[in-house]
């Protein structure tokens, strides 16, 4: 692929004429690019518009076909076989099957080979089906279409997979780029386009890309006809943030950088179309290079199961050793005198002269013989069960999202039961918790808050107080409580203003409930996208009637003028749509439009507003000349515009973070500071993102002086430029007059707070990992109740030591600072812990980078685990993955990562369970995930219902599997004691084969698929049940050992009973005595009855399917025996007519069966009865409550227990309500009885009545 040197003459020139923007990061690369081109790593050549040149060597590049499948037609067989036999159990059975072909094995070959082929075949079939689904998904992506140039300026639609390097494509607005493209031109004159890279890095803001000047003119289909150029650039690499290359066009060379490169899977936004040349295709693209092979995950239970298998293997080896040793001893001592064996003739297994050799041979034979201890069909049954579980999960209507028409998909089925054991959830923010949509919610203008209604926490808290009060009073004096009537306890309005509680009769509560629901509905459905504001005082121009209308107008003007957006024509009526760099600005513009100040036009220097005029009541069009725009940056945290009005007045309008604005206020501009800041606090608690607005008028002379300073700063070239600009803006952004604040809600997805609340109650910890700014992250933390005002918040941030020292010193210093921060926080926790104070930890990206270094990470994680919520902001995708790994390793608990974008792929793959949100358009997260959800809220049902069920099912199933194989396998061993350890098998070969495959497989599958300890609604009501999974009590070693012992006891009872019942005397009236075949068949019958009745005792949920499978399996055994016995004796061997002629006619056979089944199940039955009596588990008690219909008759108790079952959470909605209730109670105690007043006279009641929400 290296370009032959000297083939093309290259004239490389620095194009110094063109720099894209003043804030372009300086090129830190010391080696000039032209020196690198053609060297290793920089050998790629692309002939634009000549894709045919890339179809042959030397410039043949891979096609744009992207494949995520594991196998293809050729590799499937060898690779999947290899995968299958990597399992130690399967390998063992393979060896056993090979041995069965020799004389070594105690069985005939088919009895070992048939189950193995069956088991491996089903697993491979499953693999094939799963890979087929992956293939179909690839097909969907690969067959997306894009307009591609085919010559003569004609563009036709081609599938992505047909696009090749060198093609010129035209990508329309909101389409994804099919490969990595070089931007040639866009619909904008200056060749800019906006790109959303959410799929790559999760950042939601749009990124501007700009083409090189030379290709600016190529902005029409026709011009592509004559376009010829070549690109020399770096080889494919996974680095998303760098690109180096040269474009040779019209004999000139233009350097290329990331600013011209559009990456695959990012999306074109706010731009009608672009033209681009494909540079990298398919596997060469940066996203594909970036994607890791998804690791195959195994659940905790399965890993433990491996260890159980090892235990069983050791048992197997132990009893094999016993058998072989005993056999050898017998052979060399007594057996020589057993003349009927004729041991003097050569027999390797029983050679008195070579006891060691025979011991070894017997050992190998015993290993095969007792192989039934190892449940061969366990893996395959589990796989079948999990696939069926996944089908049930996929088909759950309650997890179907009507909005996106998607339902939950279990993409890999082998983690179902892991869902029941999750302890820590690591969640992405954008697109996962939020819908990435900003809404204007509240504002505080001139010290008055608008759009305020009761927040839900207050309502819930007061209701909780109410019910407590009612209960309290009825306990004191019932009749008195009834006569009290409606009362309210009202608190003096504190600084927040809407903190209150009232006490009323239950009837009132009911009505409040209804109304409260109405509020919620109002919150959810706003007719205008981006605007969710309800206050009559401001709507429909009402605000123009107020006295402080000037400040109101200014406030709205800040919203309408201080931004970087542009209006877009909308078909609907006279409302416009807006586009801007950040969605917040869009929300402001929409709000301003709703309030009557519409931003309708923008040219290079003029902004036009349509204003509602106060006096005439008509709409006037006013022009504002845009003089300067002081941009927003994360360090400045503010943005200002300086405009001059039509009457020549110069105004500076500023919006920004409250702290920044407040310190720049003029002395006479602070009149609303106190009220505004209290409102801001309130907004922050509700999780809104609030910005403070301010303005100032500037004298023309002052402005002119400043303008010259500013212009000078702007034109400065060099490192001091930023500093100059900063000081210049400081000069003008001062003496501001505060107008108020506006609150924007980063809209949470439907049901997110409730879901988080439930998850917290179930004992799950939620960590928020986001690439967003700290402020935004904290806002969302408040909105979804991960944070609340009374939590102790710890902020870990790296202290920027800008200045002296080299890098390593700076890092060292930062590390020191961080460690001391961590230590002080840890101490704080220890002090506060006694007060049951919840903690929250907020970490930013830079601090995290240091905190995750190997020597600090333990301290950091110890602190983080202590905190009830952890929020990490400014986190890179790599860090997300790293945190996930460290948390997983440090806590040793099950982690679940949930995210929606490509930036979450790392953590999704790293976590024990990865969940992707599929509602959004990007597919990377979903492709990498194990489960995909259309909405975050379905996580609750997925974990608490399906996870819980699957965990219990799989645990029970594995335990039962172990049991059944031990029961069966040990009877074989016990029999050896009576056959002088010679390796004789008690059962017919075909009975052995049928055991796992035919006679016991279906009941256990029905257990694994359909078992429910409690129904789904009870799972929701008692989230604490979920903790059974977190503690892992259903598959603990104690249980495993108990089941092994149970199996050993049952098999002993079965074996001893049958041999004693069938000992020397005749077993039938005809005087016949039992031989091996009879004993074997009767024992086997008892085993089948016992294991199938045992599963009936294990199952607590019988549908007709379980009944059919369990009783059907027992019946099937008799049918099998009849059919097998009816075969000619050359096939049926000892089974010939065994049931019809011999045992079936003997009453003793049936009596023995009854005795053995009851006797072998009695120990388990008694144990269970005792356990349920003295140490019932939670699900037992709840089952009983349901059984006794306590939920119907004793509703009080049911509700109380429901409440108790919730873990006292420190995050989530309930926690907030708890805190509020606590707070209110304290306040009530302080203010005493004096606060009681008649409810109807209360002003709050009146406000409530008049509020539109309550109508």
Partner 1 sequence: MVERGETSSTGGSDGTQDPFPSAKKITKRPKYSRFTQQELPACKPILTPGWVITALILVGVIFIPIGLASLFASQRVVEIVDRYDEDCIPPSFKDRALGFIQDDNTDKTCIRKLTVPKLMKSPIYVYYQLSNFYQNHRRYVKSRSDKQLRSRKDESKTTNCEPEAFAGDKQPIVPCGLIAWSLFNDTYKFSVTNQPLAVNKRNIAWDSDREHKFGSDVYPKNFQNGRLIGGAKLNSSIPLNEQEDLIVWMRTAALPTFRKLYGRIEVDLEAGKEITVMIQNNYNTYDFGGKKHLVLSTTSWLGGKNDFLGAAYLAVGGICLFLAVAFILVYVLKPRPLGDPSYLSWNRNPLGHLN
Binding site, annotated residues: 428-430, 585, 632, 655, 689, 770-772, 874, 880, 900, 903-904
- Strand 409-410 and strand 650-656: the pairing is unpaired
Q: 3-class DSSP state for residue 249?
A: strand
DSSP 733: S
Binding site, annotated residues for Mg(2+): 428, 430, 900, 904
| Spatial separation of the C-alpha atoms in residues 756 and 784, rounded to whole Å | 7
Catalytic residue chosen out of the listed positions 167, 201, 265, 428: 428
For 1102, residues 6+ apart whose C-beta sits below 8 A from its C-beta are 1096
What does 942-988 look like in DSSP terms, one character per residue? IIIIIIHHHHHHHHHHHHHHHHHHHHHHHHHHHHHTTTTT----SS-
Binding site, annotated residues for ATP: 428-430, 585, 632, 655, 689, 770-772, 874, 880, 903-904
Helices (H), 395-485: 456-476, 478-484
Our CB check for partner 1 shows the closer of 460 and 957 to be: 460
Our CB check for partner 1 shows the closer of 40 and 1071 to be: 1071
| Spatial separation of the C-alpha atoms in residues 1200 and 133, rounded to whole Å | 47
Q: Are 739 and 925 in contact (CB under 8 A)?
A: no
Our CB check for partner 1 shows the closer of 51 and 934 to be: 934
For 1126, residues 6+ apart whose C-beta sits below 8 A from its C-beta are 1132, 1137, 1140
| Spatial separation of the C-alpha atoms in residues 190 and 765, rounded to whole Å | 49
Minimal CA–CA distance to 1099: which of 1005, 1166, 1182, 999? 1005
| Spatial separation of the C-alpha atoms in residues 1236 and 1240, rounded to whole Å | 12
Our CB check for partner 1 shows the closer of 693 and 951 to be: 951
Our CB check for partner 1 shows the closer of 869 and 1057 to be: 1057
Our CB check for partner 1 shows the closer of 281 and 323 to be: 323
Our CB check for partner 1 shows the closer of 144 and 1180 to be: 1180
Q: Is the alpha carbon torsion for 1050, 1052, 1058, 1061 positive or negative?
A: negative
- Nearest distance from C-beta of residue 482 to partner 1, angstroms: 23
Q: Are 203 and 876 in contact (CB under 8 A)?
A: no
| Spatial separation of the C-alpha atoms in residues 100 and 107, rounded to whole Å | 6
Q: Tell me which residue has tokens 């003349």.
A: 339
Contacts 24+ apart (CB under 8 A), 150-156: 151/225, 152/225, 153/220, 153/221, 153/222, 153/223, 153/224, 153/225, 154/221, 155/221, 155/224
- Nearest distance from C-beta of residue 573 to partner 1, angstroms: 27
Q: Are 10 and 42 in contact (CB under 8 A)?
A: no
Our CB check for partner 1 shows the closer of 21 and 337 to be: 337
Minimal CA–CA distance to 1057: which of 920, 1155, 967? 1155
| Structural element, H or E, at residue 910 | helix 905-910
Q: 38 — alpha (psi -120 to 50), left (phi > 0) or beta?
A: left
- Nearest distance from C-beta of residue 926 to partner 1, angstroms: 16
- Nearest distance from C-beta of residue 514 to partner 1, angstroms: 10
Our CB check for partner 1 shows the closer of 626 and 1076 to be: 1076
- Nearest distance from C-beta of residue 44 to partner 1, angstroms: 43
Rg (Cα) of the chain, in Å, rounded? 38
For the question of residue 1179 being annotated catalytic, the response is no
Minimal CA–CA distance to 1096: which of 1165, 1032, 1027? 1165
What secondary structure, in 3-state letters, does 819-845 show? HHHHHHHHHHHHHHHHHCCCEEEEEEH
| Spatial separation of the C-alpha atoms in residues 505 and 502, rounded to whole Å | 10
- Nearest distance from C-beta of residue 1159 to partner 1, angstroms: 5
φ/ψ of residue 462, rounded to 5: -70, -35
Our CB check for partner 1 shows the closer of 495 and 521 to be: 521
| Spatial separation of the C-alpha atoms in residues 440 and 528, rounded to whole Å | 10
| Spatial separation of the C-alpha atoms in residues 614 and 541, rounded to whole Å | 9
Minimal CA–CA distance to 281: which of 166, 450, 371, 377? 166
Q: Are 400 and 919 in contact (CB under 8 A)?
A: no
- Nearest distance from C-beta of residue 338 to partner 1, angstroms: 5
| Spatial separation of the C-alpha atoms in residues 1211 and 767, rounded to whole Å | 11
- Nearest distance from C-beta of residue 411 to partner 1, angstroms: 16
Give me the active site residues, please.
Answer: 428
């Amino acid at each position: 692929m290296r370009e032959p040197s000297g083939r093309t003459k290259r004239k490389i020139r620095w194009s110094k004429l063109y720099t894209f923007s003043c804030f372009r990061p300086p090129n830190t690369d010391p080696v000039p690019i032209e020196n690198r081109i053609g060297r290793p790593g920089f050998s790629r050549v692309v002939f634009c518009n000549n894709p045919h040149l890339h179809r042959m060597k030397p410039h043949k590049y891979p096609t744009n076909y992207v494949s995520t499948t594991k196998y293809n037609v050729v590799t499937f067989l060898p690779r999947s076989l290899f995968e299958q036999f990597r399992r130690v159990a399967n390998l063992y059975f393979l060896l056993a099957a090979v041995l069965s072909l020799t004389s070594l094995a105690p069985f005939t070959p088919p009895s070992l080979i048939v189950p193995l082929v069956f088991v491996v075949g089903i697993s491979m079939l499953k693999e094939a089906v799963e890979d087929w689904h992956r293939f179909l998904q690839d097909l969907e992506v690969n067959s997306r279409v894009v307009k591609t140039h085919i010559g003569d300026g004609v563009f036709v639609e081609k599938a992505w997979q047909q696009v090749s390097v060198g093609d010129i494509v035209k990508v329309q607005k909101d389409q994804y780029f099919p490969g990595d493209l070089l931007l040639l031109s866009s619909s904008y004159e200056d060749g800019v386009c906006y790109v959303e890279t959410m799929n790559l890095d999760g950042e939601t803001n749009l990124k501007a890309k700009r083409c090189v000047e030379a290709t600016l003119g190529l902005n029409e289909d026709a011009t592509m006809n004559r376009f010829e150029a070549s690109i020399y650039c770096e080889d494919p690499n996974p680095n998303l943030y760098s690109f180096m290359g040269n474009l040779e066009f019209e004999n000139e060379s233009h350097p290329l950088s990331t600013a011209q490169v559009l990456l695959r899977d990012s999306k074109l936004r706010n731009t009608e179309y672009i033209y681009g040349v494909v540079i990298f295709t398919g596997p060469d693209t940066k996203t594909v290079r970036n994607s890791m092979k998804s690791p195959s995950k195994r659940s905790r239970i399965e890993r433990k199961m491996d260890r159980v298998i090892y235990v069983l293997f050791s048992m197997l080896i132990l009893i094999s050793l016993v058998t072989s040793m005993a056999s050898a001893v017998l052979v060399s001592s007594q057996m020589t005198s057993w003349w009927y064996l004729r041991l003097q003739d050569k027999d390797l297994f029983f050679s008195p002269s070579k006891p060691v050799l025979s011991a070894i041979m017997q050992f190998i034979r015993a290993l095969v013989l007792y192989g039934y201890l190892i449940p061969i069909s366990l893996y395959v049954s589990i796989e079948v069960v999990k696939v069926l579980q996944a089908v049930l999960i996929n088909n759950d209507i309650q997890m179907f999202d009507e909005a996106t028409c998607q339902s939950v998909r279990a993409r890999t089925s082998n983690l179902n039961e892991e869902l029941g054991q999750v302890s820590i959830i690591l969640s992405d923010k954008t697109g996962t918790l939020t819908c990435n949509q900003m809404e204007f919610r509240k504002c505080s203008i001139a010290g008055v808050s608008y759009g305020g209604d009761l927040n839900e926490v207050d309502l819930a808290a007061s209701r909780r107080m109410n019910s407590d009060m009612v209960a309290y009073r009825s306990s004191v004096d019932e009749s008195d409580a009834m006569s009290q009537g409606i009362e309210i306890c009202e608190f003096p309005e504190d600084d927040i203003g809407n903190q209150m509680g009232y006490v009323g009769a239950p009837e009132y509560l009911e009505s409040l409930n209804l109304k409260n629901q109405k509020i919620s509905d109002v919150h959810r459905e706003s007719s205008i996208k981006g605007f969710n504001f309800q206050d009559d005082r401001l709507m429909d121009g009402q605000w123009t009637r107020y006295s402080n209308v000037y400040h109101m107008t200014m406030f709205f003007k800040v919203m309408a003028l201080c931004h970087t957006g542009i209006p877009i024509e909308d078909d609907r009526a006279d409302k416009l749509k807006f586009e801007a760099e950040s969605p917040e600005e869009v929300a402001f513009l929409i709000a301003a439009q709703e309030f009557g100040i519409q931003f309708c036009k923008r040219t290079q220097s003029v902004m036009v507003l349509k204003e509602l005029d106060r006096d005439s009541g008509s709409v006037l069009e006013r022009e504002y000349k845009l003089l300067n725009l002081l941009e927003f940056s994360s360090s400045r945290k503010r943005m200002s515009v300086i405009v001059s009005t039509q009457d020549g007045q110069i105004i500076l309008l500023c919006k920004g973070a409250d702290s920044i604005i407040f310190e720049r206020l003029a002395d006479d501009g602070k009149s609303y500071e106190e009220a505004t800041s209290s409102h801001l606090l309130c907004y922050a608690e509700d999780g809104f993102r609030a910005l403070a607005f301010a303005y100032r008028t500037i004298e023309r002379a002052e402005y002119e002086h400043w303008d010259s300073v500013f212009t000078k700063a702007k034109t400065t070239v060099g490192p001091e430029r930023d500093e100059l600009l900063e000081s210049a803006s400081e000069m003008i952004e001062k003496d501001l007059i505060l107008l108020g604040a506006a609150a924007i809600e980063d809209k949470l997805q439907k049901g997110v707070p409730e879901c988080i609340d439930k998850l917290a109650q179930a004992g799950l910890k939620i960590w928020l990992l986001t690439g967003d700014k700290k402020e935004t992250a904290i806002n969302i933390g408040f909105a979804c109740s991960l944070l609340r005002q009374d939590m102790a918040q710890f902020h870990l941030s790296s202290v920027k030591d800008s200045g002296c020292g080299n890098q390593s010193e700076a890092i060292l210093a930062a590390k020191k600072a961080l460690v001391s921060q961590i230590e002080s926080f840890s101490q704080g926790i220890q002090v506060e812990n006694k007060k049951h104070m919840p903690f929250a930890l907020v970490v930013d990206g830079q601090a995290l980078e240091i905190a995750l270094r190997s020597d600090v990470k333990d301290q950091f994680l110890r602190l983080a685990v202590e905190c009830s919520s952890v929020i990490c902001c400014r986190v890179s995708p790599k860090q997300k993955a790293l945190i996930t790994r460290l948390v997983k390793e440090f806590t040793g608990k099950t982690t679940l990562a949930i995210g929606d974008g490509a930036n979450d792929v790392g953590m999704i793959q790293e976590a024990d369970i990865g969940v992707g949100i599929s509602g959004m358009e990007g597919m990377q997260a979903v492709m990498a995930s194990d489960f995909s959800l259309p909405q975050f809220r379905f996580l609750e049902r997925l974990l608490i219902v399906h996870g819980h069920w699957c965990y219990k099912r799989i645990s029970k199933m594995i335990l039962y599997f172990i049991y059944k194989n031990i029961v069966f396998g040990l009877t074989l061993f016990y029999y050896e004691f009576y056959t002088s350890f010679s390796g004789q098998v008690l059962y017919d070969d075909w009975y052995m084969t049928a055991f796992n495959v035919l006679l016991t497989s279906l009941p256990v599958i029905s257990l694994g698929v359909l078992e429910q300890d409690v129904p789904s609604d009870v799972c929701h009501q008692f989230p604490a049940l979920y903790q059974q999974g977190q503690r892992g009590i259903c598959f603990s070693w104690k249980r495993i050992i108990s089941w092994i012992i149970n199996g050993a006891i049952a098999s002993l009872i079965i074996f001893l009973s049958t041999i004693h019942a069938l000992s020397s005397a005749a077993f039938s009236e005809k005087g016949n005595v039992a031989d091996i075949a009879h004993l074997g068949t009767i024992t086997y019958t008892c085993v089948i009855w016992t294991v199938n009745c045992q599963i009936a005792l294990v199952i607590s949920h019988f549908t007709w399917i379980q009944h059919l499978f369990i009783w059907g399996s027992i019946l099937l055994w008799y049918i099998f025996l009849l059919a097998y016995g009816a075969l000619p004796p050359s096939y049926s061997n000892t089974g010939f007519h065994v049931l019809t002629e011999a045992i079936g006619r003997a009453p003793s056979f049936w009596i023995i069966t009854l005795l053995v089944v009851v006797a072998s199940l009695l120990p388990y039955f008694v144990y269970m009865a005792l356990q349920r009596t003295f140490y019932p588990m939670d699900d037992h008690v709840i089952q009983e409550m349901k059984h006794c219909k306590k939920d119907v008759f004793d509703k009080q108790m049911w509700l109380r227990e429901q409440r108790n079952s919730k873990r006292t959470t420190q995050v989530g909605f309930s926690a907030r309500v708890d805190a509020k209730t606590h707070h209110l109670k304290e306040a009530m105690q302080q203010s005493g009885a004096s606060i009681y007043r008649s409810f109807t006279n209360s002003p709050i009641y009146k406000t409530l009545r008049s509020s539109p929400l309550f109508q």
